[in-house]
Chains A and B, each alone.
Chain A
Amino acid sequence: MATSTYLSNPVVTINAVDMTDQCTSAVLTRVIESLESTAFGQTNRSYVGGLENSTLTVSMYNSFAASETYATLKALVGTQVTVKVKPTSAATSATNPESTLTGAFMESLPIVNGQLGALDVIDITFSAGAYSVAIA
């Protein structure tokens, strides 16, 4: 049984713009690339840490209205972006840390993801950049 849980309600900021109310999913994964260091004589593979290559993937409702999804993202595709996410809307603290990817690359922007009878939802991935975390 879990001893500490929280209601999933992350705050997502893209290029300083609060996009929380358009997001339905945010997955920040910290990745350190593995480099194989196995040598002759070893009986198991071994790895050492390489470059960091973390990613943030967000699912957002698409909207072309003013100050909404498209207006926020249209000029960011193909550029380095600062993105932030924290678990809840409470003040930043050790139990609600705000993670930042500075200079994360936004490679693609789906313009329309239309399906019959469904809202237009797009997935955006921000790759790499420098990871940092604030607790105050």
Chain B
Amino acid sequence: MAYVIASPRLGKVGDAYEPDDGVNVEALIDGGFIKSTSKSTKSDKPIKDTNEE
């Protein structure tokens, strides 16, 4: 998971953020200090079964 800094309290806004051990990443996201850069992946469309018997 990749993150970018969203608050100057954490560093330069826009820079990549790599959390140290022990850092509560969820709390940083919840507080608006970092943002995840990972895009959500859409699930594949269900494959239609065309083999009709």
Determine the residue in chain B with the shortest Cβ distance to A130: B22
B1-23 with Cβ < 8 A to chain A:
7-10, 19-23
| B10 and A75 contact, CB distance less than 8 A | no
| A79 and B24 contact, CB distance less than 8 A | yes
| A75 and B22 contact, CB distance less than 8 A | no
Chain A-chain B contacts (Cβ-Cβ < 8 Å), number: 53
State in angstroms the CA–CA spacing of A16 and B5 once bound together.
Answer: 12
| A76 and B24 contact, CB distance less than 8 A | yes
State in angstroms the CA–CA spacing of A19 and B27 once bound together.
Answer: 15
Given A16-B28, A17-B33, A75-B31, A67 and B23 contact (CB-CB distance below 8 Å): no
A72-101 with Cβ < 8 A to chain B:
72, 74-76, 79-82
Chain B interfacial residues counted at CB < 8 A: 17
B30 at the A interface (CB under 8 A): yes
Quote the shortest CB–CB distance from A111 to chain B (angstroms). Answer: 15
Main secondary structure of the interface of B (DSSP, over half): loop
Main secondary structure of the interface of A (DSSP, over half): mixed
Determine the residue in chain B with the shortest Cβ distance to A21: B9
B residues neighboring A (CB under 8 Å): 7-10, 19-24, 26-28, 30-33
Listed by A's residue number, 10 A-B pairs whose Cβ atoms lie within 8 Å are A16-B10, A17-B9, A19-B9, A71-B32, A72-B9, A74-B31, A76-B27, A80-B22, A82-B20, A82-B23
Inter-chain pairs besides A15-B23, A67-B8, 17 sampled, C-beta below 8 Å: A15-B24, A16-B10, A16-B23, A16-B28, A17-B9, A17-B10, A17-B28, A71-B32, A71-B33, A72-B31, A72-B33, A75-B26, A75-B27, A75-B30, A75-B31, A79-B27, A102-B21
